[in-house]
Amino acid sequence: MKNRILHLLKENEGNFISGQIISEKLGVSRTAIWKYINTLRNEGYHIDSISNKGYNLTFSPDLLSFEEINENLTTKYIGRNLFYFESLDSTNTKAKELALKDASHGTIIISEEQTAGKGRLGRFFLSPKYKGIWISIILRPDIDPLKVPKITQIGAAAVVKACEAFNINVNVKWPNDIILNNKKVCGILTEMSGELNKVNYVVMGIGVNANIDENDFPEELKNKATSISIETKNYIKRKEFVGILLNNFEKLYEEFVEEDNIKTSINICRKNSILIGKEIKIINRNKETLAKALDLDENGELIVELKDGNIYKVVSGEVSIRGINDSYTPQ
């Protein structure tokens, strides 16, 4: 009911709508409406109230609920079914739980914080409340399971496009990290449930350090991670960023599933790559191999040249990639 009242207020934003009209439209008492209005105020909404005129919404906070994100959403199915939480251990964990309960294709799980956010290889992902974008997307593509790693490139390209909409130039550290001024600002974690020839579901988690403060990072991360607000000195309106991110993701994802190619996504990742042309370390089961990153092929695999001159394709997910001394120079 609270969200239905908020929806009516937003439809009439800038104008008063009487409690009587809200009561008639929603079939609730004026007293109940007052209680929900106070709840919304406690959440950060500014709502004026005047006798005989009703309620007027004058300000909406930067929350990641459907009502807030929907204003910037142009998708057909990505994000149209949205589960919003104040706090979760992990959005990917919740997404997998909902996927097993037949949550629809394109369902979004988003939380204002994660208490046990997950990165690749089981690493902890810092996810403080109201300061980042912690989101997971449930997908049910009818594709060969071997093609699922390509979806990570689609996610990376969508994040790049969202950053560009805010005039922020970022780099992609293949396959799943977004880098800003030589520090990680976003991580992507793609997980799949499937059989040999069938994908049951894919869950893609995207964590964006939007407005995290410098003192939120533990000492061991301060030289490796950052946030958009730290680097740009500007607050990022998260709900706008999420809308743009999901709009771009759906467009790029449809190219993949309908045309069986990810050319646009690969071109975005290639253009913004922080690895191509650089000396890198390939780490596979604790074994390090030095190589030079040459390019991304049409499947999103990283083409590298080994020290013996052999050309090798690295498949997403089979190894870790690091720059020499973990230092990157954006191109």
pLDDT tens sequence across 159-217: 999 999 999 999 999 989 999 999 999 999 999 999 989 999 999 999 999 999 999 99
Mark out the alpha helices in the chain (DSSP H runs).
Answer: 2-11, 19-26, 30-42, 66-69, 91-100, 150-165, 228-232, 238-259, 263-271
Pair 118, 163: CB distance under 8 Å:
no
> Does the annotation list 184 as a binding residue?
yes
> Does the annotation list 114 as a binding residue?
yes
The total number of structural domains in the chain stands at: 3
Give the domain CATH number at 121.
3.30.930.10
**pLDDT (mean) for 232-252:** 97
Rounded Cα gap, residues 104 and 187, in angstroms: 24
> Does the annotation list 90 as a binding residue?
yes
**pLDDT (mean) for 212-240:** 94
Cβ count near 277 (within 10 Å): 12
Q: Is the pLDDT of residue 282 over 90?
A: no
> Does the annotation list 91 as a binding residue?
yes
Q: Does residue 331 fall inside a structural domain?
A: no
| pLDDT more than 70, % of the chain | 94
Show the tokens assigned to 229. 């607000």
Please report how the helices 2-11 and 30-42 are oriented relative to each other, as an axis angle in degrees rounded to 10: 80
Give the domain CATH number at 14.
1.10.10.10
| pLDDT more than 90, % of the chain | 79
Q: Is the pLDDT of residue 329 over 50?
A: no
What is the per-residue pLDDT for 327? 44
- Model pTM above 0.95: no
Residue 21 CA: distances (Å) to CA of 29, 31, 34: 11, 13, 13
Instruction: Show which of 224, 243, 271 is a domain's final residue.
Output: 271
Q: Which domain holds residue 17?
A: 2-59
**pLDDT (mean) for 279-302:** 87
Say whether both 236 and 138 belong to one domain. Answer: yes
> Does the annotation list 234 as a binding residue?
no
Q: CB within 8 A of 118, min separation 6: which ones?
A: 90, 92, 93, 124, 125, 189, 205
249-281 pLDDT per residue, tens: 999 999 999 998 899 999 999 999 999 999 988
